[in-house]
Chains A and B, each alone.
Chain A
Amino acid sequence: MTEYHLTTPISEEDARKLKVGDIVYVTGEHVYTARDEAHERALEMYEKGEKPPVDFEGSVVYHVGPVAWQKDGKWEIVSAGPTTSIRMELFEDEFLRKYKARIIIGKGGMGAKTLDALKEVGAVYCSFTGGCGALAAKGLKEVRAYLWDDLGMPEALWVITAEEFGPLLVTMDSHSKSIHDDMDRTVAARKADVYARIGIKE
């Protein structure tokens, strides 16, 4: 396990160095929030040959629907823990191939399609501890833009400057390793013991 402090934009080479179990802290201006609808819109724009309002290459894309408010006319992130990432499994692989983001952040992990794309593109998936909205907001220093606000506060594309945003735990890397898959196998292997404790034989 190694601890990294990375600054955006993140290069493919740096992303490929990261391995599952590593801890990452991110600083920089290329940090974007995106849930289901922002992913869909970015992909639609690509199909139409349009350019999205931000450059996703080398960026950090965070699966989150934040609580934000305006103070003195300026948006501030109040609380912003991760949402469940598996919903984005539908389009994350295409998003990675087309836009070359280097770090995807969320909770709960993603599936085989995303894992393959991480390998192909040179990117990682990091887990941020679910429910830790106040801690996350501390690292999301400044809101530089609130784009695609027609999608509503949670689904919009928030453009953020991060400062030591983390700890982010690499749980899927570009070497086909996934802690989430490992956990499924670990739990399956313990099933007989678990059942024995409630008097059930399989």
Chain B
Amino acid sequence: MKDPSQVIHDTTVRLLRKAATVLPKEIEEALKAAHARETDETAKTQFSAILTNIELAATGVPMCQDTGIMIFYVKVGDKFPFIGEIKESLAKATRKATADTPLRPNAVNPIVGGNSGDNTGKKIPWINWEIVSGDSLEITTFPKGGGSENVCILGMLKPGVGLAGVKKLVVDNAMSYMGKACAPNIIGVGIGGGSDIALKIAKQQLLRPLNDRHPEPEVAKIEAEIMDAINATGIGPMGLGGKTTVLGVKVDYAMRHPASLPVGVAIQCWAARKSTAIISKDLDVTYLTHPVEGK
């Protein structure tokens, strides 16, 4: 009989290492396509550095020295038998992956100062829990860099500004941070709900497949318009000029209060790292984003 804590731990260590060192295929493909599309010499130079870096990193080196703050998205089946083992296993795996990969210690105490040195501490790793029906566990690691996090915003708009105001908020933000978030970026937008809900939805959008579109045509249209507008700015990779400023814009929404129009805007850098695995009730592991070779 396998030890459930050990399986969750080992799976998560691999997820963390893979996330830091190997970009999901679709992101790499999008960066290659963008490189081919650019005609500007500076933009081409930026993309070829990024692509060389991706190749070097895949040998097991963190692609970016900012290996992020540790965030997990966990979907637990209501019939998954080992719910109680998850939280501690994720924290332990974070410590192990920090020492072994290595990852940069990025957990700092904001009150008394000091770096915990192992990427864990009060409320970190942060776990986003979702209970779903089923008997398996899905773990996504989502280590997020500080540069792109620093330009995420929340707009509490007046409902009267309408959807045009929502789009303007997102576009103005992009024109304000220029290349600072290591463009080309992926932008997640959450509309409605409330201040916390809008930001939560925004960040969740960064987990969507890069090439999907929102199933509702009205929302898909907003995604396409914002993407087209931001790519027309010419900000380009690293803000040094070019055609590709964003690789994707993902929007979703919740119902809003009549008096409120909250808009969360989450920014992701080109190093859009994530890694997902599913653990069955029998503790069989399937890696989705980073399959084990030969499987």
Contact = CB atoms under 8 A, between A and B. Distances in A.
Interface of A: 1, 21, 23, 64-67, 69, 78-81, 83-84, 86, 107-109, 127-138, 152-154, 167, 169, 171, 179-180, 183-184, 186-187, 190-191, 193-195, 197-200
A129 B238 contact: yes
B45, B66, B180, B238 pick with most chain A CB within 10 angstroms? B238
Contacts of B145: 131
A190 B45 CA distance: 23
Given A67-B62, A108-B180, A194-B175, A23 B45 contact: yes
Interface residues of B, number: 50
Interface stretch (B78-86, B199-207, B229-237): B229-237
A14 B206 CA distance: 45
A136 B241 CA distance: 22
A64 B65 contact: yes
B116 to A, nearest CB: 12
Interface string B129-152: 000000000000000010100000
B281 interface: no
15 contacts: A78-B62, A79-B61, A79-B104, A84-B180, A108-B178, A129-B238, A130-B182, A131-B66, A132-B63, A135-B52, A154-B104, A187-B233, A194-B230, A198-B226, A200-B164
Contact of A197 (B225, B234, B269): B225
A187 B235 contact: yes
B126 to A, nearest CB: 21
Interface in B227-253: 228-230, 232-235, 237-241
A171 B239 CA distance: 11
**Which of B49, B52, B171, B179 has the most chain A CB atoms inside 10 A of its CB?**
B49
B283 interface: no
B46 interface: yes
Nearest to A152: B115
Q: Is the interface of A mostly helix, strand, loop or mixed?
A: mixed
B64 A132 contact: yes
A24 B228 CA distance: 34
A169 B277 CA distance: 39
Identify the 4 closest CB pairs spanning chains A and B, nearest first. Answer: A130-B182, A132-B53, A129-B49, A133-B65
Contacts of B235: 183, 187
A179 B46 CA distance: 14
Nearest to A201: B164
B229 A67 contact: no
